[in-house]
Amino acid sequence: GQSLEQPSEVTAVEGAIVQINCTYQTSGFYGLSWYQQHDGGAPTFLSYNALDGLEETGRFSSFLSRSDSYGYLLLQELQMKDSASYFCAVRISGQNFVFGPGTRLSVLP
Partner 1 sequence: DAGVIQSPRHEVTEMGQEVTLRCKPISGHDYLFWYRQTMMRGLELLIYFNNNVPIDDSGMPEDRFSAKMPNASFSTLKIQPSEPRDSAVYFCASRGDRVRNSGANVLTFGAGSRLTVL
Which lies closer to partner 1 via its Cβ, residue 31 or residue 83? 31
Task: Kindly state the smallest distance separating residue 93's Cβ from partner 1, in Å.
Answer: 9
Task: Kindly state the smallest distance separating residue 11's Cβ from partner 1, in Å.
Answer: 19
Which lies closer to partner 1 via its Cβ, residue 49 or residue 78? 49
74 DSSP β-pair partners: 19, 61
Q: Which amino acid is at 14?
A: E
Around Cβ 93, how many Cβ atoms within 10 Å?
13
Which lies closer to partner 1 via its Cβ, residue 26 or residue 33? 33
Closest CA to 74 of 12, 3, 5, 27: 12
Task: Kindly state the smallest distance separating residue 42's Cβ from partner 1, in Å.
Answer: 4
Helix/strand/coil for 82: helix
| Residues forming the site for partner 1 (CB under 8 A) | 31, 33, 35, 41-45, 48, 50, 87, 89, 91, 95-102
Measured in degrees and rounded to the nearest 5, phi and psi for residue 80 equal -55, -35
